[in-house]
Amino acid sequence: MVATIMSLPTDILDYILSFLEVAALEACAQSHPILSMLVERHLYSNINLDENFHDLGCQNTHRLRISQLTKLLSDSPHISNYVRNLTIYMADHGKPHGELIYDDISSTLPMFSQLRKFTLCGTNHYQYRWHGLPKVFHSAFFDTLKQSPLKEVSIERISDFPLSLLDNCEAVRSLTLNECGIARSEGTLTKPGFTPLGSLSIQVFDGPSLGYIATWVGTHGVRSLRFSGLFRLLPELLSGCANTLTDLNLNAKRECASYIF
């Protein structure tokens, strides 16, 4: 059976592998040395970095602890070039060795030079504060946002997140903010002639945070807006991108109509 599969052209094999889940890819990697080489770039394309191994219900991502990832990249540095989507689930830096975990994550992030999507995710509502994370992680996170291949950024369940971090990240075209608390911006660095953000998705926000987002959007512009949550400040948000918006998707209930029309 393996011999039959290996007789297929490489591009056909590669196409087939793109449909397999992680467990199937791992099995393929053990079946033949050449097949193992082809499997790598699919197996490590999507990585969830998760110290607690939460039940995420996703079969198409490779879940690793930071210790596993650092060993993998130490043994096979080339694998970092295959990672396209990286999700970091916040570890509790208040526990023993928590700071060391973020040190290891921070030293590893620069290796992902081909990253397309970067997600930073808390595991409980507002449990993880941006300003409570180590400064070394702040610096590594910001440097990652400035990488040219990176197009999508998602911030989920992180409080006090400063949107001003994105002011000089011109490559980022899609931003998702999910159950976040946004910090007040200390001015913006937007340059004249800026390109509006391609896509912004906002889900479940408190009033102050939505107000800060509306102010930020007013200086940046958005072409496509997806909104679900509090609608009291929606008119302000829409006015901030009135000259750039071409697509609007609202998850609105009937009682919210008075805020829109």
Same domain, 10 and 106: no
pLDDT for 128 equals 81
Same domain, 200 and 106: yes
Same domain, 190 and 246: yes
Q: Tell whether the model's pLDDT for residue 81 goes beyond 80.
A: yes
Same domain, 108 and 22: no
Q: Write out the residue range of the structural domain in which residue 80 sits.
A: 44-260
Same domain, 65 and 5: no
Same domain, 193 and 235: yes
Domain count, the chain: 2
Q: How many helices and strands in the chain, by DSSP H and E?
A: 10, 11
Same domain, 154 and 72: yes
Same domain, 74 and 12: no
CATH at residue 39 = 1.20.1280
Same domain, 15 and 100: no
Contact 110, 140 (CB under 8 A): yes
Cβ-based neighbours of 12, under 8 Å, separated by 6 or more: none
Q: pTM value?
A: 0.83
**Is 80 or 159 the better-scoring residue by pLDDT?**
80
> What rounded mean pLDDT belongs to the chain?
80
Same domain, 99 and 16: no
Give residue 159's pLDDT band: very low, low, confident or very high (50, 70, 90). confident
pLDDT for 92 equals 61
